[in-house]
């Protein structure tokens, strides 16, 4: 049975130093849990003695009030989900507990937060890095688990812990998809039936990049143009960006000369979906 801890003061009491001797794994989430989150919890369960799942919809990382207010949440359902997954603790603090007043100090993520999603969501990754830093300080895990679906977030968190010497291992977990390729996301439940049919277009476009790169294509502009042909001409679909970037520093590549990450964001109806696919040239 998963134990619910809903205050910072109590999680500190609940996880005294003695228990930290057992490897502690943290899976940070915003709730509305699905099989993507389950994959992170499973991995933590395999590698750690104690598994803590945090559920916190972080106001600092939302650039739109409507998006924050429309974000799905049902703590009771998530708690049952975590129990089934064998998590030991769900840490679900309130926003007042996490931010008794607006923080004076936040994490500046610099250039890493400017490209890809950062271009369209100013301040978003600063909010993400700040809450992850707080969660790492509060729970003090030995390992923390993040999805590769959010590639820019994962890259920033790897730099965050390296730059601030936070003693935690960051584990990246592969993206879980539906049968048609759509990456699982809490936001998918906001898609209408019609929009759900259109949503896999993002993965299809990214997978077109993967096939193109595997076949030896090297010009990002031409690759990108072919991939965009996969996006349906439909009033409710709008590509926000689709880029080929270096997997290590997420800078756009001028020519494909090694592995690249194809990353994109697609609006379907009023829902913003992101995804990325690792692409490499086939060895002959
Ligand atoms: P979220 O609740 O959307 O903030 O996600 C919490 C964690 O789960 C993040 O590290 C995400 O990257 C990860 N995650 C979300 N969706 C997936 C997915 N489809 N596959 C793998 N990991 C995911």
185 CA to centre of ligand 1 in angstroms? 7
Integer Cα distance of 119 and 170 in angstroms: 25
Integer Cα distance of 21 and 216 in angstroms: 49
Does any ligand 1 atom lie closer than 6 A to the CB of residue 127? no
Q: Pick 284 or 159 by higher pLDDT.
A: 159
Integer Cα distance of 78 and 120 in angstroms: 30
Residue 202 has pLDDT above 60, yes or no: yes
pLDDT at 283: 77
37 an active-site residue? Answer: yes
pLDDT in tens, 51-79: 999 999 999 999 889 889 989 999 999 99
Query: What is the number of the ligand 1 atom nearest to the C-alpha of 147?
Result: 12
pLDDT in tens, 79-88: 999 999 999 9
Q: What is the DSSP string of 87-152?
A: -SEEE---HHHH-SS--S-----GGGGTSHHHHHSTTHHHHHHHHHHHHHHHH--SEEEEETTSHH
Chain-centre distance of CA 131, in angstroms?
Answer: 13
Integer Cα distance of 270 and 69 in angstroms: 14
- For residue 237, what is the enclosing H or E element? strand 237-245
Does any ligand 1 atom lie closer than 6 A to the CB of residue 150? yes
Q: What is the pTM for the complete model shown?
A: 0.96
Residue 205 has pLDDT above 90, yes or no: yes
182 CA to centre of ligand 1 in angstroms? 13
C-alpha pair distances (Å), 89 with each of 2, 25, 54, 122: 5, 10, 8, 33
pLDDT at 248: 86
Per-residue tokens: 183: 């990456």
Alpha-helical segments (H) within 215-272: 220-228
Does any ligand 1 atom lie closer than 6 A to the CB of residue 36? yes
């Amino acid at each position: 049975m998963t134990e619910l801890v809903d205050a910072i003061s109590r999680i500190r009491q609940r996880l005294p130093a003695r228990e930290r001797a057992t490897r502690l794994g943290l899976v940070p989430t915003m709730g509305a849990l699905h099989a993507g989150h389950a994959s992170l919890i499973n991995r933590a369960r395999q590698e750690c003695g104690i598994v803590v799942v945090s559920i916190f919809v972080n106001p600092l990382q939302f650039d739109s009030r409507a998006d924050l207010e429309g974000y799905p949440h049902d703590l009771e359902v998530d708690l049952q989900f975590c129990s089934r997954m064998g998590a030991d603790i769900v840490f679900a603090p309130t926003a007042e507990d996490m931010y008794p007043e607006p923080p004076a100090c936040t994490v500046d993520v610099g250039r890493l937060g400017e490209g890809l999603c950062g271009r369209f969501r100013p301040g978003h990754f600063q909010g993400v890095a700040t809450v992850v830093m707080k969660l790492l300080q509060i729970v003090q895990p030995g390992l923390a688990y993040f999805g590769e679906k959010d590639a820019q977030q994962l890259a920033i968190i790897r730099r965050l812990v390296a730059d601030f010497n936070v003693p935690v291992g960051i584990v990246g977990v592969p993206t879980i998809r539906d049968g048609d390729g759509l990456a699982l996301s809490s936001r998918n439940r906001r898609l209408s039936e019609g929009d759900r049919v259109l949503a896999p277009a993002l993965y299809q476009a990214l997978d077109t990049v993967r096939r193109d790169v595997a076949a030896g294509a090297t010009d990002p502009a031409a690759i990108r143009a072919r991939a965009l042909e996969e996006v349906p001409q439909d009033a409710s679909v709008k590509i926000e960006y689709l880029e080929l970037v270096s997997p290590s520093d997420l800078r756009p590549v001028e020519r494909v000369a090694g592995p690249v990450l194809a990353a994109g964001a697609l609006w379907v109806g009023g829902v913003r979906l992101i995804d990325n696919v690792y692409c490499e040239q086939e060895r002959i």
